[in-house]
Amino acid sequence: PYAAPPVGPLRWRSPQPAAAWTSPRDATRFGTPCFASPLPGPMQGPPQSEDCLTLNVWTPAMAGKHPVMVWIHGGGFEFGSSAQPGYDGTVLAKHGVVVVSFNYRLGVLGFLAHPTLDREGPASGDYGLQDQVAALRWVRANIAAFGGDPANVTIFGESAGAHAVGILMASPLAKGLFAKAIAESGAFWDSEHGSLSTHAEATARGVAFQQQMAATDLAALRALPAEQLNAAGRWDVRRDPGTTVFSPSVDGYVLREAPAATFARGAAAKVPLLAGWNAREETPLFLPRALPHDTPDAFRAGEAQLFGADRTAVVEAAYPSADPARSSATLVGDLVISEQTWEMLALQQQARRTGVYAYQFSFTSPYSPIANHTAEVKYVFGNLSPPPPGRGGGAPGERDRATAERMTAYWTNFAAKGDPNGPGLPNWPSYAGPGSQLLAITPDSTSAAAETGTDRFQLIRSYRQTGRLPDRWRTVAP
C-alpha cells in the first residue's frame, strides 16, 4: 500500500498515509483493482474494491542505484489496473531498471467534483491524480530499499497514462518527483470536444450525479455502496469520457490551468521527454466517436461545424471529404491522441531545446496486424504473449521479437540517461521541432525519418487559445 484505503470518510478525499505494519506482508500477488467501468470487449476484469491503492515493484537487484521507471496505466481514467498481464515489468527489469506500477482511483470514485467537497479540503475532483502524486512520493521515500535511485525516476504511461504524464509535468504537486518522462499516445487530456473540463463543469456534473442518485447531501452520497456508485457512473465506449463522465479537470489544486497552457508558457517540468503516437490511433476505441461519415456531405457538415465554414479549403486538404470514412477516422485519432502528443513534444522542445525524442509507430506483423491504439505497449514491455483465443493475430515472429528488443532498449536507455541511443541501436535523433526527424518504427525498419501529419496537427493547433481548444466543440456531433 502507498496510501490508506480511501473508504468510509476517506472516500473523495486526498490520499492519506498508509498504516504501518510489523508482521510479514504477502507481496506475491497484485492488490485488488480499483472500481472501474467494464473493460471494452468480451473480457471482464477481476473483482474490484475501494481498498485498492497499492503498487508493485520489479527489481534487478535489491542493492545498488538503478534507474526507476514508474508506469501509469491507461483506460481513459475509467477502467484498467496495474495487474493487467501486458504491464508485467519482468523483462524491463532485466534491462537494469526498477519498475513500479500502481492502481489509482477511477471514474466517479476518483474524479467526482462537488461544491461541498471543495469546502472540506483542497479543490475537489482530481483524487485519482492525487493518488498518482502519492505513489510518486512513496517511490521517492522508499525505492532505495528496492535498489532504485530516487533521484533518477522516469514516469511513463500510455493513453490515459500518457495524459497523466502530461498533467503531472504541468502540476505543481508533482514538482521534483521525477527526472524524465515518457508519453505513449497522450498529453493534455484533450478530446474531440475540446480541452479538459473546467472546475465549474466538473462540479455541475457532480451535483447532477447527486441528484441522479437521489442523495439529499454529500453524506448520503458517501453512504451509498461503491458498487452502486460505480454502476451509475459507468462510461460508455461511444461517449467522450473527458466531457460526459468523471475524469481529470482543472481543479485549481492539481491543475491550475489547462496543461497545454502550462507547456505553452514554458512552465511545465523541464525534464527530458520521449513521446509519440501510433499510425491508427482511432482503432478501435475512438471510431464510435468520429464525425458522421455516411456521405461526403455529412462529413463536410461536421467539418464545418468543428472548424468553421470559412476554413473549407484548408480542412479539405487535411481531411478530404472524398473519403469520409478514412478522414473521419484520422480526425478523431488526431483530436483525441496524435495532435496533442505532437504539440507537447513541440512545446517541450521549444522550452528545452535538447533532450526531447519523438517517435511514430506503424509497425505491423501477423502477430500485431494493426498499429492501433495500445499496439506499441507489448513491445515496450517485451511481453509478446500470443493473443487469447478468438482475439485474432498469430504467434510473435522474429520481426516482433527484434522490434521489442529495440524498444525495451530505447526506453530503458532513456530512463537511465535521458537519451534512448545505445550500442547496436539505429540512431534516434533529438527532436528539433515540428516537421523535423523522429524515429519511425515501421514493418520494414526502425530508423530516423521525417515526421508525417504535421499539416493536420498545425491545423488543429491553430484553434487553441490560451492553452484551450474551443469550448464550442462541446456541442459538435456525435
* Strand-strand pairing, 55-58 and 356-361: unpaired
Angle at 389 between CA 383 and CA 392, to 5 degrees: 75
Task: Look up residue 248 and give its three cell numbers.
Answer: 481529470
Rounded Cα distance between 381 and 384, Å, is 8
Question: Is the distance from CB of 343 to CB of 258 less than 8 angstroms?
Answer: no
Q: Check: CB of residue 162 under 8 Å from CB of residue 276.
A: no
Please, what is the Cα angle at 80 between 237 and 383, to 5 degrees? 115
- How far apart (Å, rounded) are the C-alpha atoms in residues 447 and 410? 12
State the catalytic residues. Answer: 159, 282, 373
**Alpha helix positions (H), 1-114:** 90-93, 107-111
How many Cβ atoms from other residues are within 10 Å of residue 114's Cβ?
21
Q: For residue 47, report the phi and psi dihedrals to the nearest 5 degrees.
A: -55, 150
Given a contact cutoff of 8 angstroms between Cβ atoms, the answer to whether 396 and 369 are in contact is no
* Residue 23 burial (10 A CB sphere; 0-12, 13-18, 19+): exposed
User: Rounded distance, CA 437 to CA 431, Å?
Assistant: 6
Cα gap 129→81, rounded to integer Å: 14
Q: Which residues contact 297 (CB under 8 A, 6 or more apart)?
A: 321
| Residues 9 and 23 sit within 8 Å (Cβ to Cβ) | no
Alpha helices by DSSP H, listed for 353-470, are 377-381, 398-417, 454-461
> Which uninterrupted H or E stretch holds 207?
helix 199-212
- CA distance linking residue 415 with residue 97, whole number of Å: 8
